[in-house]
Every structure is written in C-alpha cells, then in structure tokens.
Amino acid sequence: MFIDELVKRIKEKKSNVVVGLDPRIESIPKIVKDQCFEKYGNTLKAVGKAILGFNKEIIDYVYDIVPAVKPQIAFYEQYGLEGLKAYIETCKYAKEKGLVVIGDIKRGDIGSTSEAYSNAHLGNVNIEGVIHETFAVDSITVNPYMGGDTLEAFIKEINEKDKGMFVLVKTSNKGSGQLQDLEVAGKKIYEVVAELVDEIGKQSLGKCGYSSIGAVVGATYKEQSKSLRKKMPKTYFLVPGYGAQGGTAEDIIHCFNEDGLGAVINSSRGIIFAYKNAGYTEEKYGEAARTEALKMRDAINKVLIANGKCYY
Amino acid sequence: MFIDELVKRIKEKKSNVVVGLDPRIESIPKIVKDQCFEKYGNTLKAVGKAILGFNKEIIDYVYDIVPAVKPQIAFYEQYGLEGLKAYIETCKYAKEKGLVVIGDIKRGDIGSTSEAYSNAHLGNVNIEGVIHETFAVDSITVNPYMGGDTLEAFIKEINEKDKGMFVLVKTSNKGSGQLQDLEVAGKKIYEVVAELVDEIGKQSLGKCGYSSIGAVVGATYKEQSKSLRKKMPKTYFLVPGYGAQGGTAEDIIHCFNEDGLGAVINSSRGIIFAYKNAGYTEEKYGEAARTEALKMRDAINKVLIANGKCYY
C-alpha cells in the first residue's frame, strides 16, 4: 500500500518533511539558467532543462533526509509541454532516488472524467494491448467540490496499483474559509469533507493503520487541525503552509497523532530557494536546501518529542 | 471582451450549442485510428494523431453552426505529452475556424499557484523578454473550493487579454449535491458560490451586459438553474449534462434570461460520437455530428421561441 511505503520512509529517515518542488524560473539560480539559455536560447526547452537540472540537484541533496517530494504541476504546466516533460523527468528521478512522489495536481471532475485523470496521474492507458504510463506518480491531491463520485473514481488505481490521494479538506490560503468554514447544521464544510474522506478512506487502510486516502490540512490553521485530527484518526495529513506561508513547528503539532505519525509537512520556497537567505551563495543552492530541510526536520522532531510523540 | 465575442457568435450562428471535444480513443472510429496505428504503432503518438484528425473533422462539420467548442483536458492529459499536443493543436485549429474555445480544465489553487495556471491556460510566460503561449484558450473552467483568492488570480488575464472563465457552481453529476447542496444559514453552498461569482463578475462586464466571468450550472438540475438564473442575472452559464448525461431542451430553459441569452449548452458524446446511433455509418462521423448539433440547436431554439425568448 502507498501509505505503508510512506510511513516506512518517514521512520527510516526520521523525517516528516516533504520538499515542494515548485520551480519558479525567476527564482532558479542564474548559474543554472544561463547555461540552458545559452544552449537553447530563450525557449521553453531551455526552461524545462533548467527546471530539471535544478530539481535533480535539490533531490540529490535531500533524498536521504526526507521521505517525499511534492511537485506542484501548475509551475510546470505554465511552461507547456517542455515544462510537463520536466515534471515527468523530475518525478522519475525522485522515484529512482527512493523518494515517494506526491503530484500536487488538485484535479477532480465528474466520474468518467476523473477516471481519465486517474489514468493520467496514478495509472496508465492501454493502447491496443500496449500499456503506457504518462504522468503517473505515487499519490496526488484531489479537489472534492464536485462530490464523492469525483473521489471514488480514483480508488480503483489506489487499491490496485498501491497509489494514494490527499483530498483537499482545509487549505492553507487566506481565502480558504470563504467556503470551507461555512457552517451547516453545526458542522463546518471542511468537517463534512473530512467525514467523507474518513469514510472513503476505510477502503484503503494499510498495515500501518493509516489509509492511503489522506487529507490536505493547512499548517496555517492550528485549531482546525486539532479538531480534524480527532475527526479522522486514520487519515494521513499532507500539510502545506509551513515556512514561506507562515506555519511553524508549533502550529502543526496537532496534525500528528500520539504515535508521532499521521502527517507530512510540506515546504517549497522555504527549502528549494533557501540559497537566497543570508549566509548562502547561489552556487550552493543544493547545500542550502539540505540545511533548511534538516533544520525543518529537527524543529518538527523536537516539538514532537517535547510532546511525547516520538515516532522513530 | 471574451463575453462579447461569445454572444456575437451565438447570434451569428443562431446557436447556443457548445460541442464538447472529449475524445475517448475507444470511441474514435476505426477508420481514423487504424491509419494512425499503422503508421505510428500502438503508441501515444498514434493516439495523439488520431485524436487530432478526429477533432479536425468534427470541427470542419460544426464550425459554422455552433459558437464554441469545449475540449475536456482530462481526455488529452491521460495520453501524456502527445495527448496534450493534440489538445493544443485542436484549440488552435478551432480558433482558426472562428470558434470560441473553452478549456474544461477545472483548475484552482492558492493565489500564486492559480497565477501559474492562469499563465498556462489564459495568458503566457515571459522568458527573458520572449513571450511564450502554451495552452492558452479563450476561457476556462475553474474550481472554487479554495475560495475567492483562487478566482481572483485569473482576473488579470481575463481583463487584460479579453479572456473568460466559468466557475463551478452547480455541477451536473449525481454526487454534486453532497457538498454543493448543503445549507448554510438558509442558503445552499452553490448559492453562496453563485453570489461570489456574481460579485467578482462585476469586474469584467462586457458591452453585451453579461460578464466574462461565468458559471457552470448542470442541465440535470432544472429547479436549481431557475433560482440561479435570478441570483446571477449578468452571469453567463456554461451548461453541461445535456444529452448523454440526461438533460433535455425543456430542462435547460430556465438557464436563459428573457432575452434568450445567458447560457451555452454543452453536449460531448451525444454529438461527437453520434455516428454510433442507428442510421449512421462510421465513415460519416462528421456528418453525424453535424446532424446531431443541428438537431440540438433546433430543439433548444424551439423551446426558447415557445417561451418568448428568441435571441436572433
């Protein structure tokens, strides 16, 4: 099961940190970009090459200290086919390095269309007997607005191919409350979604006791994570919003269960563009990312241990 | 403005029909597929070529009788980069034929990520002074679950580049009620979203009186469309669920305002795979699509006229 693989890596690496691979070209070090622009001109191909080169270096520097990476597909999609080629190659490289890959794609549609997304991002397509994988990763993020049938369409791949998904429950952005916090019969909308995810998740429980169907719960909402943790004890949380978006190690403590498991915490800019911080140079962007990922890992572990939640 | 262009074409063609280009390879006529498989083997390239050839023929047969086409990107994405290449080429070809292109992508994320999607699907990216368009179409569909900031990120392109978007309000699928129909303080969730869309839409009003920021309202929910029409009088509806999903011309009458405008009605399978119906042959799939699109146009116009809502 996907979730067993994820938990195994978390324990091995003593780390709950997910590195978000969101490669904004304007933030990629000049030394990486210039090489590609010289060779391929100011083209999307050059951008794709720069992104891939950058990501590989980041992966080389973090693969032994984090369980997973999370490429945000929008940052690849905006560079067209060349960008998406870099997405595919990045996922492949991360996988080779033993990392769990979570595609942050936030897809979701009516059942038959969700099945097509499921083929694309978890499974494969069968062309006259020949199997083709396209964007397949280990797990994806899914948007629940269209209802339970949207989510059900991904379960076949999840159970048959040991894949996973994280359903948006309470997102980390400022405007998330506009719909998610509305109250129906004493329950917030995000709690209704949480119950739906908890229920659906029972179909995909791993040996570790958690489900391969997880939830996205923003680090920026401490109190909400506390109540959600209770509401969905067997659901793994993918927690965005740490670092650049404002969340701290103290903020995310309630995302974890008493066993110190139950959550992976993502940081993107805060790790991959750490070279911009004081004390680093552009050349050492890989090293800077590693240092920040270690700092984040240790900060989270420290708070977990202080709360009696050691997991390794 | 996007919406003025759309309304102009609706009046010119005397048609509110949108042809959904959802090319499931298993439903594409053998005569189209076989040619491509012979030339390129059982590859994704062959699939991409088959899809593009199929779509072009459909477009050739309908471009003069419908205002717009709506490719559903999931059906391209599942065939990887070759599938997405076919998506890009399809959109380009439809545009050349004077059609408005609505990319059914249902994206949506936190603000800065939505901006990347906006670059990808409405705008462009600037690589060291060189502008690159990737998947840019005239309008897209957007998922509102993450809140208003998700939507705001698309407005820059909408207003500066004469683009549009349709926000999911009440979708056509069976499970749509699970979240969308929940009631908060006397209002359904989809009504809350409707009010949000109506409000945001004021920033993008066209000369025709409608906004370039529209709403997705399923044909399968007749009563809901009636109340939504009143709630958002200046919002154009993109209505899925006609035909194969069960919606009829009678079901969608309330999606229109008294001026006979305010809605475009999508049919995908019902038109593009009409050749499977009795009386057609595989070879004449283009003709079959045209006949069905005309039948649908006439059925809708007839109901509109019977209700005193003639728009041409």
- Cα–Cα nearest to B252, from B288, B228, B277: B228
pLDDT grade, residue B245 (50/70/90)?
confident
pLDDT, tens digit, 9 for 90 and up, residues B273-308: 999 998 899 999 999 999 999 999 999 999 999 999
Annotation says A207 is catalytic: no
pLDDT at residue B244 in the model: 77
In a domain, A273, yes or no: yes
Task: Specify which residues A107 forms β-bridges with.
Answer: A142
Assigned domain for A89 exists: yes
Picking from A44, A108, A147, the nearest residue to B143 by CB comes out as A108
**Is there a contact between B103 and B50 (Cβ–Cβ < 8 Å)?**
no
B22: closest CA of chain A, how far (Å): 9
A312 falls within a domain: no
- Residue indicated by tokens 């999903």: B245
Interface of B with A in 83-102 (CB under 8 A): 83-85, 88
Write the pLDDT tens digit of every residue in A257-307.
999 999 999 999 999 999 999 889 999 999 999 999 999 999 999 999 999
Contact yes or no for B117 and A78 at CB 8 A: yes
Residues above pLDDT 90, as percent of chain B: 93
Question: pLDDT at residue A221 above 90?
Answer: no
Average predicted confidence (pLDDT) for chain A: 96
Mapping DSSP onto H, E and C, the string for A140-165 reads EEECCCCCHHHHHCCHHHHHHCCCEE
Q: How confident is the model at residue A245 (pLDDT cuts 50, 70, 90)?
A: confident
Provide the domain count of chain A: 1
Confidence at residue A233, expressed as pLDDT on a 0 to 100 scale: 96
pLDDT value of position B219: 86
**CB-based contact, B43 to chain A, within 8 Å:** yes
pLDDT for residue B222: 86
CB contacts of A149 in chain B (<8 Å) are: 173-175
Active site residues of B: 106
- pLDDT above 80 (res A209): yes
The per-residue pLDDT of chain B, averaged, comes to 96
- Strand runs (DSSP E) across chain B, as ranges? 17-21, 68-71, 100-107, 125-127, 130-132, 139-142, 164-170, 183-184, 187-188, 211-217, 235-239, 263-267
pLDDT for the residue A222: 86
Q: Could you tell me which residues come within 8 angstroms of residue A261 by beta carbon, excluding any fewer than 6 positions away? A: A7, A10, A208, A210, A236, A311
Confidence of residue A197 (pLDDT cuts 50, 70, 90): very high
Contact between A180 and B147 using a beta-carbon 8 Å cutoff: yes
* Residue in A closest to B268 by C-alpha: A113
How many beta-carbon pairs below 8 A join chains A and B?
Answer: 221
Nearest CA in chain A to B241: A110
**Bridge partners, residue B237, by sequence:** B215, B263
Q: What is the pLDDT of residues A161-176, one digit of tens each?
A: 999 999 999 999 999 9
**Chain B residue closest in CA terms to A171:** B146
Indicate yes or no: CB of A47 within 8 angstroms of CB of B172.
Answer: no
Q: What is the mean predicted confidence (pLDDT) over B254-265?
A: 97
- Average of per-residue pLDDT across A80-96: 98
Q: List all residues 6 or more positions away from A50 whose beta carbon is below 8 Å from its beta carbon.
A: A25, A28, A32, A33, A35, A36, A37
In a domain, B312, yes or no: no
CA B141 – CA B213 distance, rounded (Å): 10
Q: What is the mean pLDDT of residues B210-217?
A: 98
What's the domain range around A267? 2-306
pLDDT digits (tens, 9 = 90+) for A50-78: 999 999 999 999 999 999 999 999 999 99
Residue B22, token pair as written in the block: 């959802």
Q: End-to-end alpha-carbon separation of chain B, Å?
A: 20
Residue B311 forms part of a structural domain? no
pLDDT digit string, tens, across residues B111-134:
999 999 999 999 999 999 999 999
**Which CATH number covers residue B186?**
3.20.20.70
CB within 8 Å: A173 and B146: yes
With contact defined as beta carbons under 8 Å apart, do A220 and A241 qualify?
yes
Q: Is the pLDDT of residue A244 over 80?
A: no
Cβ neighbours for B161, distance < 8 A, ≥ 6 positions apart: B122, B123
Eight-state DSSP code of residue B218: -
pLDDT at B259 over 90: yes
